[in-house]
Amino acid sequence: MAGTLYEKYGGFKTVSRIVMDFYEEALDSDAIGDFFADVDMPRLIDHQTKFIASLMGGPASFSDERLAIVHRHLGIKHSDFDEVARILAATLAEHGMDPNDIGEVLAAVESKRSLIVEADTE
């Protein structure tokens, strides 16, 4: 049995495919698609792949301070965060991730909510 979800699901290559599929859905979302209108998507996909990999027990990691800084100016609301989590869960399921493992990844994402969501929004 693999030690981490990152190892269990095939490492960076798999996480990279998951993140690319996630952004295909996110860009089409009426709720959050506009957040990505003027974003350097290859750069964002690279960062998000490293972030998701780290949440799954992989090698890359980001400090909470850095996570807060890069999201601070975006005005992200709880409903936006919820939409990201919904799309991520669906994408992980499409890639064959076990429901318990999806729950573990979503719990790790949820633990970062206060760093990403604007403090005074819904």
- The CATH number assigned to the domain holding 46 equals 1.10.490.10
pLDDT digits (tens, 9 = 90+) for 29-42: 999 999 998 899 99
Given this model, what pLDDT does residue 102 score? Answer: 98
Token pair of 50 as six digits: 């490293």
Q: Indicate the pTM of the whole model.
A: 0.91
Q: Looking at 5-9, 84-88, 93-97, 118-122, which range is the least confident one?
A: 118-122
The answer to whether residue 47 sits within a structural domain is yes
pLDDT digits (tens, 9 = 90+) for 48-105: 999 999 999 998 777 899 899 989 889 999 999 999 999 999 999 999 999 999 999 9
The answer to whether residue 60 sits within a structural domain is yes
Q: Which domain holds residue 57?
A: 5-116
The answer to whether residue 52 sits within a structural domain is yes
The answer to whether residue 121 sits within a structural domain is no
Whose structure tokens read 């729950």? 103
Number of domains in the chain: 1
The answer to whether residue 70 sits within a structural domain is yes
The answer to whether residue 87 sits within a structural domain is yes
The answer to whether residue 122 sits within a structural domain is no
Q: How far is the C-alpha of 102 from the C-alpha of 90, rounded, in Å?
A: 9
